[in-house]
Amino acid sequence: MRSLKSIILATAVFALFAGILLTGCMSTGEPASGSGSKAAASSGGKGKPDWIDNYPADPAYFIGIGATKTGDQAKDMESARAKALASLAAEISVQIKSEQTFVGREDTKGNNYESAESVINQTVSQNLKEIETADSFYSDKDGYWMYLRLNKKKWAELQAKEMAQINQRVLQLVTPVLENSSAGVAAKITALAKGWDLVASSPYSGLIQSKLDGEAGSLIDLLEKQMGKQLSTLTVSITPESIDTDPGRPVPVKVSVKSSSGSAPGPIYIGFALKDSKTAFADQIVTDDNGNFQGDVKLSDLPVGKNPTLARVNLKEFGVDETQVKMKLIIPEKDIWVNVNQINVDLVVKSSEGSELPSLYDSVKAIFSKKNLPFRIADRGGKKSRFTLTFTVYFTHFPKLNDADLSMTKAKAVISLMQDNDNLFSYETPENKDGGINWDQAHDRAAIRVFKDLDKNTDFVDAITRAFSFD
């Protein structure tokens, strides 16, 4: 049984075919065939033809009949022709559905992917030339009628010719590369991907039969099998397999890709990503023609902790979308572990006058203790870190009108991250106002408001996280 998607496909094909035919044929402005008068165009004055009341049946032709009556003969002729073309296209669409001309194929997720909108324009243009005006009729009483037809044998010949042309183009593209002993695996996969695109973007993706590398079958299936065959020859190795690093620091690695086929792999793209997100690569490298790479990989997007990571061949760089192919491709990959350490950072909280504010230290530390950050606030009294995070709090007092008034103040913080003597990051918060029974209480309460707002500021957290980069 054909799926709903297949029916939608054929309907879409009809819509596109009818649209192109309508545009092409209406633009010709051809008059009704034969010679006739206003009373009976192309009917020789013999009156209304039988095909108007009795729809003609001819197994050798697709038939389309259209009629319009507005009183304007010239406009009616164009409109009747357009309707006849739509009727003709509808009959062709019915045959497409009944004969299952468009063979449904599914990707690895079970989705149909043949594209109805990609019906080949060249074939449609050729069909325009083959459409015949079998008869036409006009009268003031009945309006304008148009009878068009298309030879079914010619239609089939055009389809067969188009499939043969696609097959020839694909084989001319793929075969020389596959038979070239010096061609690398990368070049072969790239050629196969280009051939696959030619077939998959045509309306004949599952119909074209061919022979490739000594095997006969559906051309698109043969191309996918060859992709799988080439990929199966590759193995990936990474040194070291267990990496210990700091956040944002590039990781030095050696990558080797070997092919059991005996030929050089060619430039192979390897993407690095967390194991549960294979398509979201944190970074990517490309090997030389012999499959070797030695250099840095940027894994700054990996979270703190021990991360199971994949080094995986990136097929998209060869033009292959693995979600679209029907065959499940086994993609070469290598498991590695990347342990991202948290960096210890010393925290200083002080006023603008330089005196430390121990009462606010815990409030600031709490901002960073509950987030997954590349750093942690070091314990006080421990080994001094190369990194220092300084919160300098500035207070602006409001004048008191009398001694009984609350002490009111505004507070803001200027935050800086230092590595040794280098300033890595600076940020100034908005001001917050609060009060208390004395200036110390007012200071604490206004500063805590600043810190609470800062805790909700995701832009600040992202920015200070990015500061821990050592590229």
pLDDT for residue 202: 84
pLDDT for residue 91: 79
Q: Is 141 left (phi over 0), alpha (psi -120 to 50) or beta?
A: alpha
Domain locations in the chain as residue ranges: 4-107+116-158, 160-231, 234-340, 343-466
CATH number of 234-340: 2.60.40.10
> Do 343-466 and 234-340 have the same topology in CATH?
no
CA dihedral 289, 290, 296, 300 (to 10 degrees): 80
CATH number of 4-107+116-158: 3.10.28.20
Q: Which CATH architecture has domain 343-466?
A: 2-Layer Sandwich (3.30)
The C-alpha atoms of residue 327 and residue 330 are separated, in whole angstroms, by: 9
pLDDT for residue 46: 63
Sorted by sequence, the CB contacts under 8 Å of residue 170 that are 6+ apart come out as: 195, 198, 199, 210, 219, 223
Q: What is the pLDDT along the chain (471 residues), one digit of tens a residue?
A: 334 334 334 444 444 444 444 444 433 333 344 333 344 455 545 688 999 999 999 999 999 999 999 989 999 999 999 999 888 887 776 655 444 344 444 444 444 433 333 343 334 444 556 789 999 999 999 999 999 999 999 888 888 998 999 999 999 999 999 999 899 999 999 999 999 999 998 878 888 999 999 999 999 999 999 999 999 999 999 999 998 888 878 889 999 999 998 888 999 999 998 887 755 788 899 999 999 999 999 876 677 888 899 999 999 999 999 888 888 999 999 999 998 888 889 999 998 877 888 888 888 888 888 777 888 888 887 788 889 999 999 999 999 888 788 999 999 999 999 988 889 899 999 999 999 999 889 998 999 899 889 888 888 888 888 887 665
Rounded to 5 degrees, φ, ψ at 305 are 120, -170
Q: Tell me the pairing of strands 242-245 and 251-259.
A: unpaired
Beta strands in 240-329 (DSSP E): 242-245, 251-259, 269-274, 283-286, 292-297, 305-313
Instruction: Please give the single-letter amino acid code of residue 82.
Output: A
pLDDT for residue 205: 82
pLDDT for residue 9: 41
First to last CA, the chain: 58
